[in-house]
Amino acid sequence: MNLDFKESANTIISILRVQKHIAIFIKGSPDPDAIASSYFLYCLCNALHVQATMFAFMPASLPSNREIISLFSIPLHIEDTIKAINMRRYSGYIVCDFQTAALEGIVNVIPCLIHLDHHAPVEDDVSAHFRILTDDVASTSTLCALMMQYISCFPRDVIHLLATVLYLGIKTDSDNFNHLNKYDVMAIEYLNQLYIPSMIEKIESVPLSLYSQRLLQHAMANVVIYKDWLIAGVGFVEEEHRDTIAIIADYLLENNHVELAVVYGAVYHNNHTKLDIDASLRTKKEDLDLNELIKNITADGGGRKYKGAFQVHIDFFVYCPDQGKLWDIIALTTHHSLKNIRDGMYKITIQSKFKKLTKTIKKLFIKANKEK
């Protein structure tokens, strides 16, 4: 893939400049990459004198992510649902760091102006005036940093703040710079001269909360090794601590000789009226197709290189009067399902290879047709 970041920067500026008021949505959990890339576009709107408002539908889960929001004074509005927002006030919306730009209730109300993400594109997404979806970069912040090089309207102090927050976005999503490709390296080279090291230090010195430490202990006490996989449940989790599941998966993969670490918990949402089984998957194997693996478990999830996640909705079980029994059933079912998937990995590998081959043939076919 060859991206022209100068042309991309010019295109997004020409799209934004004619807008009245833009809504910027963080669709998933506000993690460093989602916050950084959304804030980048927020600052760009500001620099172009276009009004913009940033929204998320859940609060930042990790203390370090909350620290980013407060340290950079990021004006992030948390809403329970998208229905709480009066869409007619906005002329368009932006989604960063999420595989799809579709949002319930706003299709045909306001257009999606910009959609940036570092996952492979999905086919049935809403249309966007400008879109970059590519898994050739480790983070959405990489795309923003490379466009930023060609944008001259940012005030000096904003440049340093943006460089710092984008640096954090890349660092987090590349697992501490462990998974970088050429675009990520280019972005870091650019940001290196601009970011503020003391701000990074401040954010990285925020400790895990006591709650997260307890979940980690629970997970470590319940680790099951099946063949070359590690599976661990953390028990029931309050919504605002959901990201801890991913952090624990990172930690367990790092500290065990396994191919895959799966950490799951039962996460309460909406004041305990909704319940999900929420799982994070981590691998060091570059060719392990986590997306294909996850799609064999549920449609509600996905993956890319090295990481993936899925959810299973079990709202009805919020009525279960015995949490202990409920957790036993969740754990029993999740372990059984994951072990079955591990046993069927041969089939999944073939499916994955077949899909990649079909994609390549399709691309060649399109190319041949264009050249005709």
In this structure, are residues 164 and 200 in contact, taking their beta carbons and an 8 Å threshold?
Answer: yes
Nearer to Mn ion, 218 or 304 (CB): 304
Nearer to Mn ion, 92 or 169 (CB): 169
Nearer to Mn ion, 97 or 239 (CB): 97
CB 18 to Mn ion: min, Å: 28
Distance CA 90, CA 369 (A): 40
CB 172 to Mn ion: min, Å: 8
Distance CA 178, CA 145 (A): 18
Nearer to Mn ion, 128 or 137 (CB): 137
In this structure, are residues 167 and 39 in contact, taking their beta carbons and an 8 Å threshold?
Answer: no
Nearer to Mn ion, 173 or 292 (CB): 173
CB 176 to Mn ion: min, Å: 14
3-class secondary-structure state, position 345: helix
Tokens of 76: 């992030």
In this structure, are residues 34 and 140 in contact, taking their beta carbons and an 8 Å threshold?
Answer: yes
Burial (CB < 10 A; 0-12, 13-18, 19+), residue 265, is: buried
Task: Name the CA dihedral angle for 195, 197, 199, 203, rounded to a multiple of 10 degrees.
Answer: 110
Nearer to Mn ion, 8 or 139 (CB): 139
Tokens 């640096």, residue located? 167
Nearer to Mn ion, 37 or 53 (CB): 37
Distance CA 49, CA 138 (A): 31
CB 328 to Mn ion: min, Å: 34
Nearer to Mn ion, 33 or 289 (CB): 33
The number of beta carbons lying within 10 Å of the beta carbon of residue 83 is 11
Residues that bind Mn ion (CB under 5 A): 33, 97, 139, 173
Residue facing Mn ion at closest CB distance: 33
CB 344 to Mn ion: min, Å: 29
CB 133 to Mn ion: min, Å: 12
Distance CA 307, CA 218 (A): 22
Length of the chain: 372
In this structure, are residues 173 and 118 in contact, taking their beta carbons and an 8 Å threshold?
Answer: yes
CB 33 to Mn ion: min, Å: 3
CB 138 to Mn ion: min, Å: 8
232 bridge partner residues: 263
CB 357 to Mn ion: min, Å: 28
Nearer to Mn ion, 97 or 292 (CB): 97
Residues 6+ apart with CB under 8 A from 2: none
Task: Name the CA dihedral angle for 110, 116, 121, 122, rounded to a multiple of 10 degrees.
Answer: -30
Where do the DSSP E strands lie in the chain? 21-26, 51-56, 76-78, 92-96, 112-117, 128-133, 224-226, 229-238, 260-269, 274-283, 301-304, 307-313
Sheet holding 112-117, edge to edge: 76-78, 51-56, 21-26, 92-96, 112-117, 128-133
